[in-house]
Amino acid sequence: MDFKRVQFLKKQMESKIGREPQTLYEEDAFRMDALTLAYMGDVCWSFFIRRSLIYTGIYSVQILHSLAADMVSARVQCRVLLRIRDLLSERELKICRRGRNTHSTVPKSATVEEYRESTAFEALLGYLYLSGQADRLHFLMNCSLKFLAEEFSDER
C-alpha cells in the first residue's frame, strides 16, 4: 500500500477513534472481505477461550497461555468447525466458504487445509459478531468449547 494511502487511512482512523462504533447491518457484515471477518473472529475466539479458561479457576499465566495457545491454534479451530458444521445455516456456510477460499500466507504450524478451515471458522465468528448476532455467536462458541472439552477428556 502506498504511503499516501496509509496516511489517509491513519487520519480517518484518528478522526473516528473514541466515537461510538457504527452499527453494521447484517447485509453489510455479510459483504465484508472474508479476511476482515476472520480478523474480528480471531479476537472473538481468543477472548472467549481466555475468559473460559480463567473461569475454570486456573490463575497461572504460564498455564493459561499454554492452554489458550493450543485452543486457538489453526489445527484445533479446523477440528471445531468440522464438528459444528451441521449446526450452521446456509448463510453461515457461505461465509465459511468465502473464508476458506481466501488466500493468505499459511504458517508452518498448520497444514494448508487446517489453516483454510480455521480462517473459515474465524470468518464465521467475525460475521456473527459484526452483524450483531450475539446469541448465535455465543451458542456456537459454547458448542465449540463443549466439543473441545470432550476431545481433551478423550485424550486422557
pLDDT tens for the 156 residues of the chain, in order: 688 888 888 888 887 787 777 768 899 999 999 999 999 999 999 999 999 999 999 999 999 999 999 999 999 999 999 999 999 999 999 999 999 998 887 777 788 899 999 999 999 999 999 999 999 999 999 999 999 888 777 765
Degrees to nearest 5, angle at CA 134 with 32 and 46: 75
Which amino acid, one-letter code, is at 139?
Answer: F
| 47 to 50, 72, 90, 125, 128: CA distances (angstroms) | 5, 10, 26, 12, 15
pLDDT at 5: 85
Among candidate residues 42, 70, 135, 154, the one labeled active-site is 42
pLDDT at 140: 98
pLDDT at 57: 94
Q: Is 0.85 topped by the overall pTM?
A: yes
Domain ranges of the chain: 28-154
Q: In whole angstroms, what is the distance from residue 89 CA to residue 85 CA? A: 9
Q: In whole angstroms, what is the distance from residue 30 CA to residue 37 CA? A: 9
Catalytic annotation present for 42: yes
The answer to whether 88 touches 123, Cβ cutoff 8 Å, is no
pLDDT at 155: 66
Q: In whole angstroms, what is the distance from residue 4 CA to residue 12 CA? A: 12
Q: In whole angstroms, what is the distance from residue 26 CA to residue 131 CA? A: 5
pLDDT at 156: 54
Q: In whole angstroms, what is the distance from residue 32 CA to residue 5 CA? A: 20
Q: In whole angstroms, what is the distance from residue 91 CA to residue 27 CA? A: 11
Q: What is the CATH number of domain 28-154?
A: 1.10.1520.10
Sequence-distant (6+) residues with CB within 8 A of 53 are 64, 67, 68, 71
